A = this chain, B = another copy of it.
Amino acid sequence: MANSTVLGFRYARLADDLEVKIREGVYRSGEKMPSLRKLHGQTGLSITTVYQAYIELEKRGVVIPRQKSGYFVKPLLGRILSPPEVEKMRPVPKKVTMNTLAYSIVEDMSNPDFLQLGGSVVMPELLPFKQLTRCLRAESMDAMKRSLMRYENPHGNAELKRQIAKRMLGQARQAITDEMVITSGCIEAVSLCLQAIGNAGDTVVVESPTYPWFLQIIEDQNKFALEIPTDPRTGIDLDQLERAVQKNAVAACLLVPNFHNPLGFEMPEEQKKALVKMMGEMTIPIIEDNIHGELYFGTARPTTLKSMDRKGLVLHCASFSKTLSPGLRVGWTLPGRFADRVKRLKMNSTIASPTLNQQVMAQFLKTGSFDRHLRRLRSALKNQITNTALAIARYFPEGTRITAPQGGLTLWVELDKKVDGLKVFQEARKKKISIFPGIICSATGRYRNYIRISCGYPWSEKIEKGIRTLADIIKKRT
């Protein structure tokens, strides 16, 4: 159910209807949409309301206005270019040894001179810093004193946990505040969970391609990564996964079922269920990274593996770094039957996350403006991704393939086999454009002719120019 429907705005309801029809193909890419007057007649809604609906659809990146001739259907993300093919591979556990590439990428991320198409970071313009700052300043002297002068409970601030539990309605099967541990972002959550489920030498299943940071954590913990072929539209291949876990002693799966980074898919409901069932039967824990769960482009928030888990085997991880503030470092985990171990690891490694940061986040969530902000953010991201994909289709050489993300903020781009993504990355870096070379998304040496482009910045001419520059670099190497 669409959030807008819940709120009952007429224009938003109309926009939802029209968007569904566009997705169903009732209105096709490039087609002219009904005029204001016509829809006014059909629906009985005022001209203003219909106009508002079109503005909303424009924000969502679904339609585009042309001067004096009304609104036209934008190409749907999924139809802009073909998706990358799933590469054939034989899954083998790999000792991970990432090079220092990742680090230079992170350094570029904090360099204001760079065009940031690398890190999957949501830009300040899209985040509600005014409201957050207001929450920070509204803290009374006494509340501030208390927050500065005491260690927070090692598991996290009670009010924050309550607010998160409220938001997670339907995302977990049982009461969750006792199970919850507040962390320094989603990364610490994943790192602690991965530590909790086993020991050095363990084998961990990941999607292929996967989020590079996962590989680095696996390396730091002296574990092995077992990469399973993953479809850019539907997620990890369950047949191959089944064979791989039968053949190898797998300690855990570390997966991003919702708006995978870099692929952007949402795993279909039935596949999620089959996955949880399969791992449940084999008693293999799944670490579920849901950091993009709120960044859906469809009309409803996706379900979680956690909500299907009856055995305490799903360790759910998430954070506010992509939706509210990267700098506050507030994330959380629901580690299922591993909760005691995760709590202990959290306490022993940092005592607790900072008090004030948790308090401010709890205050913000209490204001109730999070949902409004999220609606705006989702529209913006969808629009940015669509525009970036369109620019890639326009400028990149023929044969380029891209994903059609259902949420999140990254595009995964397959280049001609001859093109070395690492060289493209290095050339782009010289021109102060930051992207990810595909090879850092695997420990196997795969994805050499891939790059990841992140769409966290509001679409602009500067970005279009950046895409054109990338296209030139790539064309020279084709």
Contact = CB atoms under 8 A, between A and B. Distances in A.
A124 B149 contact: yes
Interface stretch (A74-82, A180-188, A227-235, A298-306): A180-188
Contact of A327 (B127, B220, B354): B354
Contacts of A329: 350-354
B350 A217 contact: no
Most buried by B among A132, A220, A350, A352: A350
Number of copies: 2
A348 B145 contact: no
Interface residues of A, number: 56
A110 B153 contact: yes
Interface in A321-347: 325-329, 344-345, 347
A327 B151 contact: yes
Contact of A152 (B154, B199, B327, B348): B327
Contacts of A154: 106
Interface stretch (A133-141, A162-170, A243-251): A133-141
Interface in A119-146: 121, 123-124, 127, 129, 132-133, 136-137, 141, 144-146
A324 to B, nearest CB: 8
A5 interface: no
A196 to B, nearest CB: 10
A191 interface: yes
B149 A325 contact: yes
Contacts of A326: 149-151, 351
Given A145-B124, A213-B348, A151 B109 contact: yes
Contacts of A199: 200, 222
A355 B154 CA distance: 20
A187 to B, nearest CB: 6
Contacts of A325: 148-149
B106 A347 contact: yes
A187 B351 contact: yes
A146 B200 CA distance: 38
Contacts of A152: 110, 327
B220 A185 contact: no
Contacts of A195: 220
Interface centre among A121, A148, A326 (most CB of B within 10 A): A148
Interface of A: 103, 106, 109-110, 121, 123-124, 127, 129, 132-133, 136-137, 141, 144-154, 184-185, 187-188, 191, 195, 199-200, 213, 216-217, 220, 222, 325-329, 344-345, 347-357
The 10 closest A-B pairs by CB, nearest first: A124-B149, A327-B355, A184-B350, A329-B354, A129-B145, A148-B325, A216-B348, A133-B144, A191-B349, A188-B350
